A and B are shown apart, each in its own frame.
Chain A
Amino acid sequence: MAAQVIIIHPQDNVAIALRDLKKGEELFLPDGRPLNISADIAYSHKVSLEDIPAGAAVIKYGEIIGEAKGPIRKGEWVHKHNLDIEDRKR
C-alpha cells in the first residue's frame, strides 16, 4: 500500500503528508505505529508524530525547524499558526 506520510529523519517529531489527510482518520506509520489525525492536513504539509510541549523543539531533517508556540498534540497539523520560526540559532 502507498505510504500516507513520510518521516525524513529518525529523530523527526513531524512527518510529511503524502496526500490530503482528513480529521478523524487513523493511519499507520511506516513502523506500524498508529496515528490519529486531529485536523485536516493538506498534501505536503507537516503532521506531529508526538505530543510536543509548548516551547519544545519541532524537528525535521533531524534539525530544529522551530519551537511549538503552545502544546502541539500528536496528529495535529504543524505550520505557521503553532510553530515559532524566530531564529534562535538552535
Chain B
Amino acid sequence: MMETFLGYERLDGSAGIRNYVAVMPSVACANGVVAAIARAVPEAVPLYHAHGCGRGVEATMHANVLANLGKHPNVAAVLVVGLGCEVIKAENLAVAIGTSNKPVEYFNIQDTGGTKKSTAHGIGIIRRMLADAARLKRRRFPLDRIIMGLQCGGSDAFSGVTANPSVGLVSDWLVDQGGTVILTEDTEMIGTSHILERRACNPDVAGKIAKMIADAEQLTHDLLGPLAPFVISPGNMDGGMTSIREKSLGCIVKAGSRPINEVIGYGEIPTKKGVILLDGPGYDMESMTGVAAAGSQLMIFTTGRGNPIGYPIVPVLKVASTSRMYEQMGDDMDINAGVILDGTPMQEVGQQITDMVRQVLDGELTKAEINQQEGIVCLYTLHPAF
C-alpha cells in the first residue's frame, strides 16, 4: 500500500509540506522594501535575489525560475514587489504565479509612492495573506505528490562511500512509492554518461542525457581552461579513485537505481515522475534554486566538509559523511552517515534517513530550518549583465 504524508492542498493539484507566505522582489532594486516588510512581519518569507533586470539571454530563464518559486507547493500565497521600470515585471510574474490559482498580488514601488508607502502597503497585504493561509490544515496525500531534490556540497572522500549511497536507498524508496527525485549538478556526472543513458526510459531521454553531460564537460573546459583537469581528470584522485567515472558514480548514486524518465532545463518543472535529471550547475547555491524551482518540496543535501545552508521555501535535510564532521557541526546536521564507517549497515542509515524524510514531510523541522539558514535565491547566469 502506498504511504502517505500530511501536506497542504494547493489548487493546482500539488501538495505542500510547508505553508509559507512569500514576498518576492521582481528585481533586486526591490529587495529593500521586501526586507522592510519581512522585518515588520517575520512570518513572511522574503525571496531576496540579485537579478530581474540588465540581462539579455537569461531574462526569460530568470523569470521562469521566479514564477516557479512563486508557484511552489510549499508556498500558500505570494506578494510580488516590483520597482516599475525593470525587465522582469512584477505584473507578469504575478500573472504567471496566478496560473497555479493561489492568492498572488503585486505592486510597483514607483507607483506606490516610494519606500515607506510601499512597505506599509505590503505589510497590509502580507498580514491578510498570512491570516488566510493559517486557516489551511494539513491532510493526507499519497507520496506520489512528493518531489525530492538531491544535492551534495562540500564533498569529501567519504561522501560517495557513506552519505550518497545511503541517500540512494531513500531515492529508490520514494520512486517505488510513486514519487520523484531530481538529480542535478552536471559537472558531477562527467564520465558516467553511458551509465545514465542506459538508465533512460527511452532513446530520446538517453540522447538528452548524452548532450547535457557532453555540454557540461565542454563548458568546464571553456570556463576553466588549464584548471579544467582539476575538476574532471583522474589525476587528482589519489584518494583511491582511479577515474573521473568512479568519482562521478559516487555523486550520481544519490539518485538510486531506478529508470530516468525525463531531462529538464533550469527553470523547468518535471512533467514525469520517477528519476529526473535537471541540467544545472555544480555550484550548490545556484543548483538549489534550480531544484526548488522544479517544485521539490524538500531537499536532501549530503556534505563531507560541512555546509549549514538551507533554502528559503524548501526544508533541506543534511546528511553528514563522517562522524568527525557530524560531531563538529552537530547543530547543522540531521543525520550521521559516518556511522557506516564504524560498521553500521548502510541499509540501517538509509532507513534512518527515510524515517526522517517522513517526519519532515509531516512538519518536523530540519536543522537548517531551526537555524533559519534560508539564505537568498541565487540564480544561475552564464552571460554578463548589460
Given contacts A3-B342, A60-B249, A65-B249, contact A8 B242 (CB under 8 A): no
Give the nearest-CB partner of A85 in chain B: B243
* CB of B153 closer than 8 Å to a CB of A: no
Q: Is the CB of B345 within 8 A of A30?
A: yes
Residue-wise, chain B 190-218 has the 8 Å CB interface mask toward A (1 for contact) of: 01101100000000000000000000000
Q: Mark B155-179, 1 if CB is under 8 A from A, else 0.
A: 0011001100100000000000000
Residue in B195, B243, B253 whose beta carbon sits within 8 Å of that of A66 in the complex: B243
B240→A42 contact, CB < 8 A: yes
- Interface centre among A3, A8, A85, by most B CB within 10 Å? A8
Docked complex Cα distance between A62 and B250 (Å): 11
1/0 per residue, CB under 8 A from A, across B226-251: the answer is 00000000100001101101100110
**Is B320 on the interface with A (CB-CB < 8 A)?**
no
B257 within 8 Å of A by Cβ? Answer: yes
Are A79's CB and B341's CB within 8 A?
A: no
A33 within 8 A of B: no
A25 to B: closest C-beta gap in Å: 18
- In Å, the complex CA distance between A68 and B343 comes to 29
In contact, A18 and B341 (Cβ under 8 angstroms) = yes
Query: Given known contacts A61-B249, A65-B245, A80-B242, is B342 in contact with A2 (CB within 8 Å)?
Result: yes
Asked if B161 contacts A8 (CB within 8 A), the reply is yes
Q: Does B313 contact A (CB under 8 A)?
A: no
In the bound complex, residues from chain B placing their C-beta under 8 Å from that of A61 are 165, 246, 249-250, 253
> For the complex, is B38 an interface residue (Cβ under 8 Å from A)?
no
B77 beta carbon closer than 8 Å to chain A: no
Give per-residue flags for B334-351: 1 if the beta carbon is below 8 A from chain A beta carbons, else 0: 000000111101100000
- CB-based nearest A residue for B191: A87
Task: Quote the shortest CB–CB distance from A72 to chain B (angstroms).
Answer: 12
Most buried by B among A43, A83, A85: A85
Note all chain B residues with C-beta closer than 8 A to A37.
Answer: none
Partner of A2, one of B194, B243, B341: B341
| Residue of A whose beta carbon sits closest to that of B195 | A63
The interface on chain A, measured as residues whose beta carbon lies within 8 A of the other chain's beta carbons, has a size of 29
> B161 near A89 (CB under 8 angstroms)?
no
- Tally inter-chain residue pairs, CB-CB below 8 A: 67
| Chain A nearest Cβ from B249, distance in angstroms | 4
- The answer for the CA separation of A44 and B242 in the assembled complex, in Å, is 11
B242 touches which of A6, A42, A85 (Cβ 8 Å): A85
Report how far A89 CA is from B195 CA in the complex, Å: 8
Complexed CA–CA distance, A2 and B338 (Å): 12
For the complex, give the distance between the alpha carbons of A51 and B229 in Å: 33
Chain A residues whose CB sits within 8 angstroms of the CB of B162 once the complex forms: 6
With a cutoff of 8 Å between Cβ atoms, the chain A residues found around residue B253 in the complex are: 8, 61
Interface residues in A1-56 by Cβ distance below 8 A to B read 1-3, 6, 8-9, 16-18, 30, 42-46
A63 CB contacts on chain B under 8 angstroms: 192, 195, 249
With a cutoff of 8 Å between Cβ atoms, the chain A residues found around residue B345 in the complex are 30
- A1 near B343 with CB under 8 A, answer yes
Pick the contact of A6: B195, B250, B341 (CB < 8 A).
Answer: B341
B341 touches A46 (CB 8 A): no
What is the CB-to-nearest-CB distance from B250 to chain A, in angstroms, rounded to a whole number? Answer: 7
B242 & A79 in contact (Cβ 8 Å cutoff): yes
Residues of A at the B interface (CB closer than 8 Å) are: 1-3, 6, 8-9, 16-18, 30, 42-46, 60-63, 65-66, 78-80, 83, 85, 87, 89-90
13 contacting pairs across A/B (C-beta < 8 A) = A3-B341, A6-B161, A6-B162, A6-B340, A8-B161, A17-B240, A18-B341, A42-B240, A44-B239, A60-B249, A65-B242, A66-B245, A85-B242
Q: Which 3 pairs show the lowest CB-CB distances between chains A and B?
A: A45-B240, A85-B243, A3-B343
Q: A44-B240, A61-B249, A63-B249 are in contact. List 15 more A-B contacts (CB 8 A).
A: A2-B341, A2-B342, A3-B340, A6-B162, A6-B341, A18-B341, A30-B343, A44-B158, A44-B239, A61-B246, A61-B253, A65-B243, A66-B243, A78-B242, A79-B240
